[in-house]
Amino acid sequence: MLQPNIETFLACDSAYEDATLVIFGAPFDSTTSYRPGTRFGPSAIRHESFGIETYSPYQDKDLEDYAIFDSGDLELCFGSSELALKDIAERAEIILNDGKFPLMIGGEHLVTLGAVRAALKKYPDLHVIHFDAHADLRDEYLGVPLSHACVLRRCHDLVGDGRIHQFCIRSGEREEFRFASQHTDMHKFSFDGLAETIADLKEQNVPIYFTIDLDCLDPGFFPGTGTPEAGGVSFPELLNAILTVTQGNVIAADVNELAPNLDQSGASTALACKITRELMLAICSKSPVCETTAKESFVPGANATTSNMSSVPGANAATSNMSSVPGANAATSKKSSALGTNEVTTADSSATDRDGDLFLYTSFDFEEN
Ligand code: MN
Ligand code: MN
């Protein structure tokens, strides 16, 4: 029987009723302060996702083993931020109230405020984990309080002191950093302190909203964004950090600030697709909201924490390469060594990194013996 041509993110074709994770796009970029284009982010990620695999060798998990529903993009009002945020909050609220995990694809970063408003209704003791190059703590930008440059400040208005945890921050006004020193838990430049933060939040069992502004990545890896900021993290570092955060009680998340039109090579979009896949897999396999969905076929036996934390090739390599950056990879190395898997990880990583060459050599060596 012929099927209608409805495009979803790769393998996110479960029925809504069955799904425990629901993605939706928020194609909004009306308050973008520099170069626009994030309104094209969700559709680009959805379309280009077919260029990657459903299987993650990092996590040894496959999107096809989980029930995920793609509810498409919201039709948002470009002339009114408040109306757009209202629509976003409504969509997130429906998903949350149905006991499912909302994963929003931006869009500029302001869209996070709508989803956080919805999450707070259900989880009043919400904490926010925020990855970004920018502090996003301005009280207003060009006279407007609703701007992607102010989004975490607006979140602070809602959750209060000590409940916003910021990582990779390397840009902002002096006043934003002053504000952070008194009101948020800001970690500059890297993921230093992330493992400790998540361990603490996990111990308290507090709900976490997880927002990833992709410009936390270095523009060398991710140029397709409106306000690129030199000095960012690498893909393996971000992936490892995602696997750390999802050890906590994450109840909703978003990935934002891809402007696909600003990287004609398509590499930024491909990276965003891969991050989205890894985030979905990490959520589906670990979040309490989704834990009932993992199918029986999923690799049994492996300790999720150990395998996830130890299987990110390049994260360890990045540590040594970037050792002069203050705090780089502290979360990674501390977590790995705490688990006692650092040596094994390194060996596995090099085997994976070398691709065909090393495997060919290994095979030849085996036959000779
Ligand atoms: Mn941001
Ligand atoms: Mn940013």
Q: Work out how many domains the chain is built from and give that number.
A: 1
Q: Which residues surround ligand 1, an ion (CB under 5 A)?
A: 109, 132, 134, 136, 213
CATH number assigned to the domain comprising residue 252? 3.40.800.10
First to last CA, the chain: 54
Rounded CA separation 257/307 (Å): 30
Closest ligand (CA of 134):
2
Under a CB-based contact definition with an 8 Å cutoff, are residues 282 and 15 in contact? no
By DSSP bridging, strand 55-56 and strand 61-62 are: antiparallel
**170 alpha carbon – ligand 2 mean position (Å):** 9
**133 alpha carbon – ligand 1 mean position (Å):** 7
- Which pLDDT score, from 0 to 100, does residue 59 have? 97
Would residue 318 count as lying in a domain?
no
Rounded CA separation 157/122 (Å): 17
Domain extent, residue 124, equals 21-303
Q: Is 128 helix (H, G, I), strand (E, B) or coil?
A: strand
Would residue 30 count as lying in a domain?
yes
Q: Which of 216, 201, 202 is nearest to 167 (CA)?
A: 216
Q: Is 177 helix (H, G, I), strand (E, B) or coil?
A: helix
**45 alpha carbon – ligand 2 mean position (Å):** 18
Rounded CA separation 277/325 (Å): 28
The torsion angles phi and psi of 264, rounded to 5 degrees, stand at -65, -15
Would residue 161 count as lying in a domain?
yes
Would residue 141 count as lying in a domain?
yes
Rounded CA separation 61/294 (Å): 10
Would residue 8 count as lying in a domain?
no
Structural tokens at position 13: 């074709």
Beta bridge partners of 21: 68, 101
**136 alpha carbon – ligand 1 mean position (Å):** 6
Please report, in tens digits, the pLDDT of each residue of the chain (369 residues total). 787 778 999 999 999 999 999 999 999 999 998 999 999 999 999 999 999 999 999 999 999 999 999 999 999 999 999 999 999 999 999 999 999 999 999 999 999 999 999 999 999 999 999 999 999 999 999 999 999 999 999 999 999 999 999 999 999 999 999 999 999 999 999 999 999 999 999 999 999 999 999 999 999 999 999 999 999 999 999 999 999 999 999 999 999 999 999 999 999 999 999 999 999 999 999 855 555 444 443 333 333 333 344 446 656 443 333 334 444 444 443 333 333 333 333 333 333 333 333 333 333 333 333
Q: In the 8-state DSSP scheme, what is residue 298?
A: S
pTM: 0.81
Would residue 239 count as lying in a domain?
yes
DSSP calls for 184-242: SEEEESS-TTHHHHHHHHHHHT--EEEEEEGGGB-TTT---SSS--SS-B-HHHHHHHH
> Within 10 Å of residue 162's Cβ, how many Cβ atoms?
11
Would residue 82 count as lying in a domain?
yes
Rounded CA separation 66/22 (Å): 11
Would residue 147 count as lying in a domain?
yes
**312 alpha carbon – ligand 1 mean position (Å):** 25
**297 alpha carbon – ligand 2 mean position (Å):** 39
**167 alpha carbon – ligand 2 mean position (Å):** 11
- Which pLDDT score, from 0 to 100, does residue 287 have? 55
Alpha helical stretches, state H, the chain: 41-48, 81-97, 111-122, 151-159, 174-183, 194-204, 235-245, 267-286, 304-310, 315-321, 330-339, 342-353, 356-368
- Which pLDDT score, from 0 to 100, does residue 313 have? 61
